[in-house]
Each structure stands twice: as C-alpha cells, then as structure tokens.
Structure 1
Amino acid sequence: MNLNQKITFADTVFAQEVDGEMVLLDMESENYFGLDEVGTAIWQTMQEYGTLQEVFNTMLEQYDVEEEVLEKDLSDFIEKLVERGLVEVKEN
C-alpha cells in the first residue's frame, strides 16, 4: 500500500450510517456490505480526506495501535473494498 494514493468511491455505491455502523449498497451488483465501528470510521475518514496518508494519520490519532499494525489493517481493508468494486485507489 502506498500512503500517497487517493481513494475514489464508485458512483454505484450508496452508504448510510445505521446505529453507528455503515451499510453500503452497490447498485451495480445489488450487494449489501456492513462495516463495523472501525470500518465505519475508516470509510468516513476516507470520504472526508481522500488520501490514504490522511486516513492513516487520523486513525493513528484515534486508536491506540502500532503504526505497522494499522498500516497492514488499513491495507487489507482497502484491498477488500477494491476487490468488491466499492472504491478505486489512484496515485495522488
């Protein structure tokens, strides 16, 4: 994962927060995805800032986690979103 990359959201994805967790609907595949509290925080931070470095920095401030662990978890999360066609990652 390159922290200088920018996140763009698929136009076919609608997100709604329900009871502190995010529910995503991909209109193209008609699949629903549920994000837990941490996934929701990452999703909202991505919407607010757009670059992985800013998301990483924000999550590092919010959670008591080692940098290496956060980078791996963030990378795994983004990879799953990309695989499902919910976001794209581009060089900034």
Structure 2
Amino acid sequence: MSIEGTVTIPKQVMARRVGEEVVLLDLLTGTYFGLDPVGSRVWDLLAAGHSLAQVSGVVIDEYDVTPEAFGKDLEALLRDLQARGLIAIKTAT
C-alpha cells in the first residue's frame, strides 16, 4: 500500500469514542469493531480528512514508534478495516 493512498469512510459507518477507544458500527451489516488507543488516533485523523502520509507523520511524532514498524501496523489495520467494509482505500498509481 502506498503512503500516497487515500482512505474514505463509507456513509453507513458510524464511530463513537468510548474512553480512549473508538467503536465502529457498520449500519448495513450491524457489525461492531473496536479500535485501541493508537488505532483510534489513526481513525480520528482519517475521519478528519488527513492523507496516509499525514497520518503516519502525526502518529510517528506522537508515539514512540519507528516509521518501519508503524508502516507495517498501519497497513495491517487498514487492510483489516477494508476487509470489514469500514473504509475504502485508493492507492496511488
């Protein structure tokens, strides 16, 4: 996945903060999905319209993580969210 890619959140996906975590609900399927605090930060940034490059920069600055490690974690999170229909990913060509 390219760091130049973009992420969109389908209209049927609702997000609510519960403490330090975010709970996602797909209104079409009734599926719930929970995000830990770092995943919640990523979600907040994506929901605010930040690019993947911006998300990476912010999270790497805010948390004690290397760009390589975060890149792998971000890709895994995005693939999981995409597989569940909670986001759509458009990669740069």
Tell me the TM-score range normalised by the shorter chain. over 0.9
Q: Distance in 1 between matches of 2:86 and 2:24?
A: 9
The share of aligned pairs that are identical, in percent, is: 35
Stretches of structure 1 that go unaligned for 5 or more consecutive residues are: none
Aligned partners of 1:33 and 1:91: how far apart in 2?
Answer: 23
Which residue of the partner structure matches residue 40 of structure 2?
40
1:18-47 Cα deviation digits (max 9, x unpaired): 112101110111011111111111100111
TM-score (norm 2): 0.93
| Aligned partner of residue 70 in structure 1, secondary structure | helix
Partner residue, 1:21 = 21
Question: Higher strand proportion, which one?
Answer: 1
TM-score scaled by length of structure 1? 0.93
Unpaired runs of at least 5, structure 2: none
Number of residues paired by the alignment?
92
RMSD: 1.1
Equivalent-residue separation in structure 2 for 1:58 and 1:49 (angstroms): 13
SS across alignment from 1:50: coil
- What is the CA-CA distance between 1:91 and the residue it aligns to? 3.8
